[in-house]
Amino acid sequence: MREFLGLSNISPQICRLLQEIGKLGEGASRSVYVVGGFVRDLLIGRENLDIDIVVEGDAVEFAYQLAKVWGGKAQAHHQFKTATVTRPDMLKLDFVSARNETYPSPGALPSVEYGTVAADLCRRDFSINALAMRLQPNAFGELVDCTDGLRDLRAGRIRTLHERSFIDDPTRIFRAIRYEGRYSFQIVEADQQRILDAINQGVLNLISAQRIRNEIDHILSEAAAPQMVNRMCEFDLFGAVDPTWKIAPNFDALWAAAGQAIEWASISLTNAPINTRVILWMTLLTSPMAIEVVGSRLALENQLCTKLSVQTHMEHALNALSVSSKPSEVYQLLNPYPLEALVFALMQPHQPDWRAGKIGNYLTHLRDVQPLVNGDDLIQRGLKPSRAFADWLWKAFAAQLDGKVSTTQEAYQFLDIKK
Ligand code: ATP
């Protein structure tokens, strides 16, 4: 029986675009479809503006024609027979040629040749992602479902399309967990077993650090990340990436603190944008050993590793603070540490209020104070640069932070230098 998708969830603008693509396809005697996440989310009733179009035939040529009609730009990736069209309104659409894929070896990137939409859907990861919608004018909105994806979607099931799926592409293990958590679906039992078997066979050693890192980044960007991390622990996926990688027992509390830290920074630190990804990774890598070993296994960027690895050291600095610490002491203790680490520390539930107050004051106030006197000023006043300079300048700055001096003149007087 032919099944048509309800289109009332698509905005009129997107609907018009899809119709235009269908018409152009008809004119060029090409069958065209919107596929994957867009169709899945349309059926679920969730907005998705990632538009992937499958063309039976050459998608690159088709994308160029469409870019011309729209007055946009097309960028082709000839090796994969794909192209991206950017419209004048900056909306991007991806075009792929319907294809068959074969995997030369497990974990390797596939080799690609033209195929039908049905073949193209069968190469996909899960049945719920193997759905397409026809765009040709006389069948616009018709569902193409060769793998019982609609049935699985209605039953809340994540199901691969063949038994070697996780071995061909181990990133699908992470993807299965991500969709399961995002939609509160269930990975079917046979696939849970295949995930365990694939992990036991060591498939994670066959994929690049970058591909694993990307998948973990995707998971960290999801609202249901805690459920997904929990599921990864059930499959011992972290241990499979590296045996030293243990997730902290209080991960849920760390995750909540990370969310609060990111929100607080977006409101209170508008002049110093923080890297939210650093804070998210702080929930996963909590020991110096894991940061070093996993950082190297996943080829995490140096800057990220450096910011992660200050945590233990920073704990000492935080412990050195006391209720009576003066602003200059707070400044001196906290200044060496990255904002992300400090904002994260600020939101830890065990942080006493007085200490949180000091960290907050450093972040929102002390950090931005500019010294009234600098080295050039001293030279201009005839002083010869010397080792003592840094000392004097810090003393003047500390007095300023502690409210003992508030004008340049007072700072010179404090240093006993004639203006
Ligand atoms: P999301 O909402 O997570 O972005 P999506 O379905 O749009 O979901 P993409 O990663 O953009 O996900 O992939 C687009 C489509 O490409 C998927 O729906 C799926 O059909 C296919 N796909 C992506 N990655 C794989 C993979 N590793 N193996 C097989 N098919 C894949």
Please tell me the distance from the alpha carbon of residue 195 to that of residue 362, in angstroms, as a whole number.
Answer: 47
Distance in angstroms (rounded) separating the CA atoms of residues 144 and 133: 6
C-alpha 95/C-alpha 83 separation (Å) is 5
Q: Helix, strand or coil for residue 133?
A: strand
pLDDT at position 115, please?
87
Q: What pLDDT, on a 0 to 100 scale, did the predictor assign at position 111?
A: 65
Angle between helices 327-334 and 311-320 (to 10 degrees): 170
At the top level of CATH, the class of 12-155 is: alpha beta
Residue 385, pLDDT score: 80
Reported as a pLDDT band with limits 50, 70 and 90, residue 61 is very high
pLDDT of residue 114: 83
The pairing of strands 131-134 and 92-97 is unpaired
Residue 236 CA, ligand 1 centroid: distance in Å: 24
Cα(65) to ligand 1 centroid in Å equals: 25
List the structure tokens of 34. 């919107």
Which residues contact ligand 1 via a Cβ below 6 A? 36-37, 50, 52, 124-125, 129, 169, 171-172
Report the pLDDT value the prediction gives residue 415, as an integer from 0 to 100: 82
Instruction: Please tell me the distance between residue 126's alpha carbon and the centre of ligand 1 in angstroms.
Output: 9
Do 349 and 252 contact (CB within 8 A), yes or no? Answer: no
Question: Where do the domains of the chain lie?
Answer: 12-155, 156-241, 375-415
Model confidence, pTM:
0.91
For residue 96, list its beta bridge partners: 54, 82
CA distance 250 to 319: 21
Give the confidence band of 6 by pLDDT, cuts at 50, 70, 90.
Answer: confident
Q: For residue 271, what pLDDT band results from cuts at 50, 70 and 90?
A: confident
Q: For residue 39, is pLDDT > 60?
A: yes
Query: Which residue has the CA at smallest separation from atom 27 of ligand 1?
Result: 172
pLDDT of residue 112: 65
- Picking from 225, 228, 237, 175, the residue whose alpha carbon sits closest to that of residue 200 is 237
Residue 214's identity, in one-letter code, is N
Q: Whose CA is nearest to atom 15 of ligand 1?
A: 36
Q: Determine which residue's CA is closest to atom 9 belonging to ligand 1.
A: 37
Choosing from 50, 145, 167, 217 the residue with most ligand 1 atoms within 8 A of its CB, the one to mutate for a pocket test is 50
Give residue 380's pLDDT: 85
**CA nearest neighbour of 199 among 168, 161, 246, 237:** 237
pLDDT at residue 97, as a whole number: 94
Question: What pLDDT, on a 0 to 100 scale, did the predictor assign at position 207?
Answer: 93
Specify the residue for token string 């616009």.
140
* pLDDT value of residue 19: 96
Amino acid 311: pLDDT:
86
* Residue 379, CA distances (Å) to 81, 156, 388 in order: 65, 73, 13
Please return the burial class of 243, using the count of CB atoms within 10 Å of its CB with bins 0-12, 13-18 and 19+: exposed
Look at residues 229, 245, 320 and name the one whose alpha carbon lies nearest to residue 287: 245
pLDDT mean over 178-182: 98
Per-residue confidence band for 418, with pLDDT thresholds at 50, 70 and 90? low
For residue 129, the CA-to-ligand 1 centroid distance in Å is: 7
Element housing 63 (H / E): helix 59-70
| Model confidence at 401: pLDDT above 60 | yes
pLDDT at 167: 96
Task: Convert the pLDDT of each residue in 92-132 to its tens digit.
Answer: 999 999 987 766 677 676 666 788 999 999 999 999 999 99
- Tell the residue number behind the tokens 């603190």, with chain if given: 257
Q: What is the pLDDT of residue 245?
A: 95
Distance of CA 295 to the CA centre of its chain: 16
pLDDT tens, position by position, 194-228? 999 999 999 999 999 999 999 999 999 999 999 99
Q: In CATH, which of 3.90.1170.50, 3.20.20.70, 1.10.110.30, 3.30.43.10 is domain 156-241?
A: 1.10.110.30
Pick the closest to residue 8 from 141, 135, 128, 138 (CA basis).
Answer: 141
What distance in Å separates the CA atoms of residue 62 and residue 133, rounded to the nearest whole number? 18
Helices and strands (DSSP H and E) totals, the chain: 22, 11
